[in-house]
Amino acid sequence: MVTEPAVCLAKIEPKPATLAAQALGWIDERTRAVAPQLHLSSTFLRDEDNQYRSGRNYARADNPAFDQPEHLLAALEKGEEAMLFASGMAAATAVFQALRPGDRLVAPKVMYWSLRKWIAGFASTWGVAVDFVEMSDPDAVRHAVQAGRTKLVWTETPGNPMWNITDIAAVAEIAHAAGAKLAVDSTVATPVLTRPIELGADIVMHSATKYLNGHSDIVAGALVTRAKDEFWEGIKQNRIQLGGILGSFESWLLLRGMRTLFPRVRAACASAQRIAEALQADPNVSAVLYPGLPDFPGHAIAARQMNGGFGGMISIRVKGGEQAAIATAANVHIWKRATSLGGVESLIEHRASIEGPDTPCPPDLLRLSAGIEDTGDLIADLSQALEAAHR
Ligand SMILES: *Cc1c(COP(=O)(O)O)cnc(C)c1O
């Protein structure tokens, strides 16, 4: 591993924003290149005495393209090790597939919809019992967790698409008391705002498609662990054997995106806060769901465990119901009507349409991902679209 000479000489403990901007400051010693190189080889030369002293033999198991983004993410999350995956779903499912038949797991009632659907199906075929609970209520979690039998508590905070807040420290304590691990989908919070491992979580998951990359041009996932224990080894074997690995070019793009993570997330948070406040005053909006609003149910916990902002994700409930919500999305000009989140461009989506008939998502809800455009433009575009939909 190459160290960051300037930072070492100054004896400064670099802040996360510095680590991210410089991608840990790694320099390729052979070429003195400041920007990382792209590693494409799928295979690695064996030594004459039949050893693999490089520690690598085949890129499904260990790809040098992962090294820098994985080390950077582990540093940002204060974890021992990170692993990249082909998508957020590949990362998350690798965790669940490390459970054994007969184990129990606890997950949120409302969470990233595709994953919730997959968990329900997986649990029944894999012989794992799953309890879906209201994760923002630690007592509900305490009730659901069975000592010695529950092996995993999974949460997502802020949770899609209502942005319910889980008290990570409280739920970690409950999980650990029962002998379970706590895994946190921290896609929306990002390590800029929250470091779940410092609050007691064992595993952090990201859809790196979203804020970590930030430019809506790759699909990627990541896990970070508190400790390289037996459970983590099982997850690692899942990545090697199931093969849900990220491509080399995508790894390179992800690292480039992560270098601007801090300014992007800070800009999105500042904008989202102003947008949420403006929407609260909009006569065509019946509710604004945003953890940064003082009357939001999880606000006090969010203020404690999110540092420097409440994220870039907002949902609104539109007066007039489903048709008015869809019409609002139809009338935007600057916001883009698209799924996903966490990119530099602002996105708007009618969630119930994508989640289908059994969704817990209200039909009048629009999900907003604030990008880094001019905030005034974003507010003006939304308010004219709301007005047009109610004309
Ligand atoms: C997008 C997303 C996922 C799934 O990630 P993919 O990269 O699309 O596979 C999981 N959790 C959250 C919170 C997400 O936003």
Pairing, β 181-185 against β 203-207? parallel
Query: Does one domain contain both 267 and 217?
Result: no
Q: Which residues pair with 349 in a beta bridge?
A: 367
- Average pLDDT rounded to a whole number, residues 112-123: 96
Identify whether residues 239 and 277 lie together within a single domain: no
Structure tokens of 326?
A: 């869809």
- Residue whose CA is at the smallest distance from ligand 1 atom 2: 207
pLDDT of residue 8: 53
How close is the Cα of 205 to the center of ligand 1, in Å?
9
For residue 312, pLDDT beyond 90: yes
Tokens of 98: 């490390």
Non-local CB neighbours of 214 within 8 Å, separated by 6+ positions: 257, 260, 261, 264, 342, 343, 344
pLDDT at 7 over 90: no
Q: Is residue 23 part of a domain?
A: no
The reported pLDDT for the residue numbered 3 is: 46
Cβ atoms of 93 and 122 within 8 Å: the answer is yes
Paired sense of beta strands 221-225 and 285-289, if any: unpaired
Q: What is the pLDDT of residues 24-55, one digit of tens each?
A: 999 999 999 999 999 999 999 999 999 999 89
Distance separating alpha carbons of residues 145 and 164, to the nearest angstrom:
20
CATH of the domain at 89: 3.40.640.10
Instruction: Answer yes or no: 131 catalytic.
Output: no
Distance of alpha carbon 121 from its chain centroid, rounded? 22
Is 28 a known active-site residue?
no
Boundary (domain end) residue, out of 232, 258, 284? 258
pLDDT tens-digit series, residues 154-177: 999 999 999 999 999 999 999 999
CB of 131 sitting under 6 A from ligand 1: no
Strands (E), the chain: 81-85, 104-108, 129-133, 150-156, 181-185, 203-207, 221-225, 285-289, 313-318, 336-337, 347-350, 365-369
Query: Residue 297 belongs to what domain range?
Result: 261-389
Say if residue 201 is in the same domain as residue 334. Answer: no
Query: Given 258, 283, 305, which residue is the final one in a domain?
Result: 258
| Average pLDDT rounded to a whole number, residues 233-244 | 97
Tell me how far apart the alpha carbons of residues 350 and 363 are, in angstroms, rounded to a whole number: 8
Instruction: Report the DSSP pairing between strands 129-133 and 104-108.
Output: parallel
Give the mean pLDDT of 60-66.
95
Is 36 inside any structural domain?
no
Decide: 347 in ligand 1 pocket, CB within 6 A.
Answer: no
Same domain, 326 and 188: no
**Ligand 1 centroid vs 94 CA: distance in angstroms?**
14
Task: Name the domain count of the chain.
Answer: 2
Span of 8-22, 217-231, 363-377 with lowest mean pLDDT = 8-22
% of the chain surpassing 70 pLDDT: 97
Cβ of 364 closer than 6 Å to ligand 1, yes or no, is no
Window from 5-19, 94-108, 331-345, 347-361 with minimum mean pLDDT:
5-19
Q: Give the C-alpha separation, 350 to 220, whole Å.
A: 23
* Annotation marks residue 211 as catalytic: no
**Residue nearest to ligand 1 atom 11, measured at CA:** 112
Residue 1 has pLDDT above 90, yes or no: no
Within 13 Å, how many C-alpha atoms sit on residue 371's CB side?
Answer: 19
Q: Are 310 and 347 contained in the same domain?
A: yes
**Å from CA of 342 to ligand 1 middle:** 10
- Ligand 1 lined by 210 (C-beta under 6 Å): yes
- How does strand 104-108 pair with strand 336-337? unpaired
Query: Does residue 117 register a pLDDT over 90?
Result: yes
- Asked if residue 156 has its Cβ within 6 Å of ligand 1, the reply is yes
2 inside domain = no
CA distance 148 to 288: 40
- Determine, yes or no, domain membership for 116: yes
Residue 64 lies in a domain: yes
Mean local confidence (pLDDT), 317-345: 98
Task: Supply the pLDDT for residue 305.
Answer: 98
Q: Are residues 113 and 162 in the same domain?
A: yes
319 and 243 co-located in one domain: no
Q: If you compute the radius of gyration of the chain from its CA atoms, what whole number of angstroms results?
A: 21
Question: Do 250 and 377 belong to one domain?
Answer: no
Atom of ligand 1 nearest to the CA of 115: 10
Which pLDDT value is given to residue 174? 98
- One domain for residues 184 and 107: yes
Residue 21 lies in a domain: no
186 lines ligand 1 (CB under 6 A): no
Whether 60 is catalytic: yes
Q: Ligand 1: which residue has its CA nearest to atom 6?
A: 88
Catalytic residue among 103, 104, 112, 381: 112
Which one from 104, 116, 151, 210 is the annotated catalytic residue?
210
Res 4 pLDDT > 80: no
In a domain, 38, yes or no: no
pTM summary value: 0.97
Q: Which two tokens stand for residue 19?
A: 């680590």
Mean pLDDT of 87-95: 98
Strand partners of residue 173: none
Domain boundary residue among 202, 237, 258?
A: 258
The predicted pLDDT at position 10 comes to 64
Domain CATH number, residue 269? 3.90.1150.10
User: Is 347 a domain residue?
Assistant: yes
Specify whether the CB–CB gap between 365 and 319 falls below 8 A.
no
